[in-house]
Every structure is written in C-alpha cells, then in structure tokens.
Structure 1
Amino acid sequence: MLSKAWEGTAARRVLLRRLKSPTLKPFPLLFQDVSRKHHAWKEQSPWLSSLVNVVGTGVPTKDFPAGAEEPAAGWNPPRCGVPDLPTLPDGQSGRNRQKRFVLSGGRWDKTDLTYKIIRFPWQLVKAKVRRTIEEALKVWSDVTPLTFSEVQEGRADIVIDFTRYWHGDNLPFDGPGGILAHAFFPKTHREGDVHFDYDETWTIGNNLGTDLLQVAAHEFGHVLGLQHTAVSKSLMSPFYIFRYPLSLSEDDKQGIQYLYGKPKLDPNPTPTQPAEPPQPDLETNEITNVESVQPDACSTDFDAVSTIRGELFFFKSRFVWRLRAGKLQAGYPALASRHWQGIPSSIDAAFEDPMGNIWFFQDSQYWIYEGERRVSGPTSIAELGLPASPVQAALVWGAEKNKIYIFSRGNYWRFNPHTRQVDNIYPRTMADWRGVPQEIDAAFQDEFGFAYFLRGQNYWKFDPVQVKVLDGYPRQISQDFFSCTPASNSFR
C-alpha cells in the first residue's frame, strides 16, 4: 500500500482519474523531493495493462481524514512510485500468493541478451559507466542462465539512454531530483528500454549523488520482468537506501530464477589450454616465476588496507586481497596491477575520497585513479603540504566519510581532498587516538563507523563514540579477516 504521503493533492486525484479511464495511458507517479542523503528510487516503470487496476488496490483515493497527521509527523522511507499489487483479505498478494517476489507478467523468450548504451552521463567517463552497467547486469546473470553482451552498433535487446525532460515515451523527466529513471517490462511496446535522467548527479560507490550501480541493477530487474517486492533490503524493494556492496537478496534470487531458472552447468567443459606466456611489455595477472612466492595472509603483515567501492582491499608488496561482505573473493591474492595498471610495485597507503577517486601513496609520491584509470601521478606529496617522509597510513573517517587523516611517524594530518591540501602543516600527535600504537602500517573505517588500525600482524578497533580502542584488542588480522588458525604465540 502506498503511504499516506500520497493522499490529498489535486495532482494525485487527476492521476487516479487517468488510471481509471480505459482510454488514457498511465503516467509516472512523482516523489516527494527528499534530501540527497536518502533518495527514493524515484523512477517510473511502465506496467502492463494486466498488472493491476489501481482502483481498490491500496492506492489512496481520498484526502486526509479530519484530524489526520501530516506525513512529516510519521515520515515513511522514500519509495518507488510503481503501484503495488492488490492485497487480498488473507494478506497474500494477488496471483503470486505463495511468493514474496512479484512478476510483471512478461519475460524474455531467450537467455542471450544484448545491450547498447546510447548516451552517457556527463559526470562519469564512458569506460567507468560501461563497467558499472556490466556489473549491474552481472548480479542477475550470476544466478541465472542469462548472458549480456554489449554492442555498439545495430539493434540491441536492452537499450540504455541518459536523456532529459520529454524524450519520446510520454514519460518526461523533471530535471535534478524527482524522477531518476524508468524501465519497460518484457512484452510491452518498448520492452528493453531503460532511461536515466541525464540531469541527476550520477556517482558510483558513494552517496554524494545518485548511485548509478544500484539504480541500474534495480532497473534491470524490471527490464527482466520483476516488479517490486515487499521484502525489505531486497534489490527490488521500492525503498532505496545507499548500501554497498551490491548483492541480491534471497527473494530477488528466487524471483529471477522463477522466470529464467538456475545457471546451467556446462556438461562438456572445454579443456583448459596452456596459457601463452605474457608479453614482457604488458601488465597481466599472471604470477611469473620471479613472483611465485606469494605472501601468505595467515603469516604476513600488510602495507596498506582500504575500503574501495564498498569492498576491503589488503595490499602487500605487489599483491592485493579482496574481501566482499567479509569473505575473501576467489582468485585472490592477485597482482594489484590487475585492477590499477601502472600502480607502484608496493604502496604505503591508499584511500577512496568522497568523489570516488582512489589515492595511492609510495615513499614521497602519490597517484590518483578514477576507477581503474590513472588520472595523475606520480606527484610529490610536498604539493599536498605534507613533509617528505613516507606516508604510513590513510583513514577515511566520519559518518559522511568526508574527513581524511594521513599518518606518518607517530603524527597525523587532516587532509582536504577538494583543495588537495592538509588543513594545517603542523601535525597532531597519535596520542589523540587513545589506545592506538604510536606508529601504524594501515587504517580503514568499516560500514558501522569503527576505525581499524593495523601494525604488524595485529589490529586495534577504535570506537568513535568512546573515542578509544575497544577492550580486548589487539587481535590477529589473519584470524579475524582471513579465518586462519590462531597462532600459538599471539597476544591479546
């Protein structure tokens, strides 16, 4: 059921009259504008005529009753404007009584789909948008037989466009804020079309604007045939909350597999061919004989640790380990150059700034990457107002992740990534971080606001409320992050 915030305006009564009329096409539901910190999906998804007749489906048709509170008094989370399916007296939902997920009524008749991007947002480089779209589609292909291939010429099944205002489908965008995107279900007259509002502030991996990855993955769920679900924290929930890393809930997974089935196992896998030796002038993820001795996460210290795009990266020498939702990903450790071509052979510190740029430090120099593309460096850290001594760690700190601290030789500086200068050339002492060792190897902040400081093979967890290290620390990095057997000589 839509919240009471939808009741009581002339525009909404007009909407209901349009939806009741068999001769008028529905137009998008609009959202109450909210702060940039929490967006509604603010999309409009055209629906099939068989989906629902809005009359009697829970869409309010009257103004607030006398004495009712204004919406602000009982604020509801922002949500998508697609109508809900009717709720039956037994509390079950329409034709999908035994399922929490909801289908649009259509599905693709094939599993190998192509997609094409017509236009791109101005804030992001094209390569970054392409990688993000590919990642958003991959969350669906990972759990189904579906495959997605980008084409740049000719026809495509899924057509993605960043466009403005009136753009040919009678569902105009409204400039910054308001409506973010809309998608068309399978078996409709514009099946496969996905439109994003060009005038939004599109970002990737942060909540300073509208996160493209999460909105795109949600829209692709519609384009594949899923409606909204009532299960909270599902990707197809109508309520948008900035949340990383991106993943499907069990409800999302069951819904998409109901339509397309589970991934198919290859009964006759192609024998693995011996890999050709890499060309000496190309960077690859092959581990050559010279580098055959990889560091063991169970017995090594780390040069740097950083949260990047919602995932945790541990760096040691030329290698990197990648943890998603606390789990080490397959294929790691890998060469760091697999992700960031041209990265130094080892790094001292790394962090992702609020704009999504990734900074790497080695000795007295730094590099800046936009995703996997290097945009500057090497540059002297003296230009940032820092002394020539190597940076030992960097910490992105605060609820908005807009405070960055740089640590070196028992001191720290507060750094402003917008001005690219430290706030004060005179450092403060590590004594401000009660319980943290004088010198550290790495630092990072988790999703709950706790800071972690690493030294050697141990780490300290710092409470931002009590402003001190929690009791029971230090603990072993290998045991808590890599599930290694505790060392017998560990100290607690």
Structure 2
Amino acid sequence: SRYWHGDNLPFDGPGGILAHAFFPKTHREGDVHFDYDETWTIGNNLGTDLLQVAAHEFGHVLGLQHTAVSKSLMSPFYIFRYPLSLSEDDKQGIQYLYGKPKQDPDPTPTQPSELPQPDLETNEITNVEPVQPDACDTAFDAAATIRGELFFFKSRYVWRLRAGKLQDGYPALASRHWQGIPSSVDATFEDPLGNIWFFQDSQYWIYDGERRVSGPTPIVELGLPAAPVQAALVWGAEKNKIYIFSGGNYWRFNPHTRQVDNIYPRTMADWRGVPQEIDAAFQDEFGFAYFLRGRDYWKFDPVQVKVLEGYPRQISQDFFSCAPSS
C-alpha cells in the first residue's frame, strides 16, 4: 500500500513507518499492510528485510504487542538481523497467549516484558530512531526558506518556523510534507518558480509543493561534480541567484537552464568571514544570508559583503530559544 490506503493510517514514503497490522478481535483482524515505497529485500541489509518485518507484523496478528527488549522480534524499531530468529521474550510472549507445547511439562511461563500500550487496533514498526533529535543539541543537515517559512532539517526530521516561532507538531517527519523525500537531506532551496530542490549525496529531487516532479537525478547533469552538496543559498533581492556549496568551493546555478555558470567554481574566500566548510545556508526576508556550521551560524551582510560583527552565534539559542550551551 502507499500513503492513504483506506484505513486512516497512512504510510509516509521511504523510511519511517514500514508496515502495520491489526490485532485479533478488531474490525480488520488479520490484516497486514506494508509500505510500497520501502526498498524491500530478503536476507540482506541493502534495504528493509521483508521476512523480518512480516514476522513482526504476524506477531501482532497473533496478539503480541511491542516489547521493551531491544533484541526481540517484537521491538517497535527495525534493526536488521540475519538469520531471523525468535528471542526468549518472543517465545514467552506467544506461549503466554497460547500455552506451551504439550510435550513441555514446565509451569506456565511468566508474562513477557511489554511497553505500555494504548487500546489500539494496530501497531506499526518503524526504522526511525526512537528519540527525535533535540533542536537544543543538534547540528542541522540543511535549512531553507520555503513559502516564506524557515525549515531546518536533521536526519528524517524537519522543524518549521513561522515568524520566528516553532510551529505546533514539529519536529515532524519530512516525508509527511514531501512524499518520497530521501531519508536525509544535505541541502535544499526553493527556486524562483516555487519548485523545491532537495540534494542527497550525488543526486537531487524536485518537488512542486508537496508533489515530486522529478528525481532522483545525478547532480552531474547540472554541471556539478559527483560529490555531496553541502549547502544551497537563494541570494539577492529578486531571489534569482542560487549558490551551491561543496568542499570549500561554490557555484552559481541557473534554475532555468539547470546548469551552473561556466566561470565557476570559486573559493569560499569571496564570502568574507564565512567558514571554509558549511552545513547549510538560507536568506531571510531582509536579504541577510545565514551560514550554518555545526551548532553555530554566521550572519552575512549583503551590503558590506562580509559577516557581521559578533558572530558566530548559537543556532539553538537564537532560533529555538534554548539556554546557551558551553
């Protein structure tokens, strides 16, 4: 199944939620749904192992809930293991529900360790890290102004700021906005036509709003080297200049021709006061550029063409109202 598929429990594209199943004595008891957009494999870690996820979901169909035992098949977080095997906790769980084999005279097994569970009809297995990144303790992968709002990206997650305030419900999975987005984003920008570009490793994707229109496409087709893009910046009053940064160099990119200008690359020395290597960049509504590296940022003056005095400053403190860190 893909995204919305008739049970009010939509999938979210690659990564995130892998599958879900319905418990016994529910209106869909026995149903198991798999996310079509995962890269499914059998017996290797080149994608998501279908047999392992299926066995987990069949456990739910039989009545097993999630367990706090990390090595259990019924752990809520997917970690590839081969060959597939049941832990003692898995065995105790199924025997608690259905009893031990008749030839085994041992006493009734103790109840397995379980996480507290709400009274739901279904359980999901995900490969998302169990703890969301904390904006107060995070070096972001990418940032961009999109539709007048500021987005920060880290791993599979996105933070959304409007008028300087973090919006309710964030951080959230980036795939909730952009279905099929790569599992992490190296750089992103919104071009003058409103298209949103995402870069990961040596490929890029283009979205019209939340709809993917192309990608993945090799970045060498843009005239860039086959190396990960570190940051992208929409620059200028008309927002018609786009700069792409990688490996201490930068290129000016024309989104209409989808090619970099032939006088590039140039070195980061042109951006006076900006670090040689950066993680992300964006422009605010007043024309100032922001360059992120680690947990710090530098504010760049478009008139003086250099970093303002008093920088770097902490991203967490100025954008997320966190306490200053040492």
| TM-score, normalization by structure 1 | 0.41
* Paired residues of 1:205 and 1:356 also in contact (CA < 8 A): no
* Paired residues of 2:232 and 2:244 also in contact (CA < 8 A): yes
* Paired residues of 2:92 and 2:112 also in contact (CA < 8 A): no
* Paired residues of 1:440 and 1:455 also in contact (CA < 8 A): yes
Distance 1:240 1:178, change over 3 A: closer
* SS of the residue 1:383 aligns to: helix
* Paired residues of 1:350 and 1:393 also in contact (CA < 8 A): yes
- Report the identity percentage: 93
Distance 1:178 1:414, change over 3 A: same
Distance 1:425 1:323, change over 3 A: same
CA-CA distance at 1:201 after TM superposition: 40
Q: Give the alignment's Cα RMSD to 1 decimal.
A: 17.2
> In 2, distance between residues paired with 1:189 and 1:282?
12
Which of 175, 180, 192 is 2:18 aligned to? 180
The match for 1:435 is: 273
Is 1:477 matched with 2:280?
A: no
CA-CA distance at 1:324 after TM superposition: 0.2
* SS of the residue 1:232 aligns to: coil
> In 2, distance between residues paired with 1:283 and 1:382?
48
* Paired residues of 1:394 and 1:404 also in contact (CA < 8 A): yes
> In 2, distance between residues paired with 1:479 and 1:266?
61
CA-CA distance at 1:380 after TM superposition: 0.2
> In 2, distance between residues paired with 1:188 and 1:284?
9
* Paired residues of 2:15 and 2:126 also in contact (CA < 8 A): no
> In 2, distance between residues paired with 1:464 and 1:209?
45
> In 2, distance between residues paired with 1:283 and 1:202?
25
| TM-score, normalization by structure 2 | 0.62
CA-CA distance at 1:426 after TM superposition: 3.5
> In 2, distance between residues paired with 1:279 and 1:255?
15
> In 2, distance between residues paired with 1:194 and 1:358?
34
CA-CA distance at 1:292 after TM superposition: 1.8
Which of 55, 69, 78 is 1:240 aligned to? 78
What residue ranges of structure 1 are gaps of 5+ in the alignment?
1-162, 487-492
Per-residue CA deviations over 1:369-394 (Å, capped at 9, x if unaligned) read 00000000000000000000110000
> In 1, distance between residues paired with 2:67 and 2:133?
45
* Paired residues of 1:415 and 1:423 also in contact (CA < 8 A): yes
Q: 4+ runs of 1 displaced by more than 2 Å?
A: 163-291
Distance 1:288 1:407, change over 3 A: same
Distance 1:166 1:401, change over 3 A: same
Per-residue CA deviations over 1:118-165 (Å, capped at 9, x if unaligned) read xxxxxxxxxxxxxxxxxxxxxxxxxxxxxxxxxxxxxxxxxxxxx999
Per-residue CA deviations over 1:304-363 (Å, capped at 9, x if unaligned) read 000000000000000000000000000000000000000000010000000000000000
Distance 1:200 1:483, change over 3 A: closer
* Paired residues of 1:204 and 1:356 also in contact (CA < 8 A): no
Per-residue CA deviations over 1:99-127 (Å, capped at 9, x if unaligned) read xxxxxxxxxxxxxxxxxxxxxxxxxxxxx
* Paired residues of 1:245 and 1:325 also in contact (CA < 8 A): no
**Max Rg structure:** 1
* Paired residues of 2:17 and 2:126 also in contact (CA < 8 A): no
CA-CA distance at 1:266 after TM superposition: 56
CA-CA distance at 1:285 after TM superposition: 14
* SS of the residue 2:95 aligns to: helix
> In 1, distance between residues paired with 2:76 and 2:188?
35
Distance 1:288 1:204, change over 3 A: closer
* Paired residues of 1:433 and 1:467 also in contact (CA < 8 A): yes
CA-CA distance at 1:291 after TM superposition: 2.5
Per-residue CA deviations over 1:430-475 (Å, capped at 9, x if unaligned) read 0000000000000000000000000000000000000000000000
Per-residue CA deviations over 1:411-435 (Å, capped at 9, x if unaligned) read 0000000000001263000000000
> In 1, distance between residues paired with 2:54 and 2:323?
41
> In 1, distance between residues paired with 2:241 and 2:176?
29
* Paired residues of 2:77 and 2:127 also in contact (CA < 8 A): no
CA-CA distance at 1:246 after TM superposition: 52
CA-CA distance at 1:179 after TM superposition: 48
> In 1, distance between residues paired with 2:226 and 2:258?
16
* SS of the residue 2:128 aligns to: helix
Distance 1:484 1:285, change over 3 A: farther
Distance 1:269 1:223, change over 3 A: closer
* Paired residues of 1:463 and 1:469 also in contact (CA < 8 A): yes
* Paired residues of 1:283 and 1:341 also in contact (CA < 8 A): no
* SS of the residue 2:217 aligns to: strand
> In 2, distance between residues paired with 1:335 and 1:455?
22
Distance 1:342 1:189, change over 3 A: closer
Distance 1:253 1:415, change over 3 A: farther
Distance 1:359 1:229, change over 3 A: same
* SS of the residue 1:291 aligns to: coil
* SS of the residue 1:298 aligns to: helix
* Paired residues of 1:413 and 1:423 also in contact (CA < 8 A): yes
> In 2, distance between residues paired with 1:227 and 1:291?
19
Per-residue CA deviations over 1:266-306 (Å, capped at 9, x if unaligned) read 99999999999999999999994742211100011000000
* SS of the residue 1:465 aligns to: coil
> In 1, distance between residues paired with 2:142 and 2:207?
16
> In 2, distance between residues paired with 1:301 and 1:241?
25
> In 2, distance between residues paired with 1:291 and 1:340?
19
* Paired residues of 1:244 and 1:309 also in contact (CA < 8 A): no
* SS of the residue 1:376 aligns to: strand
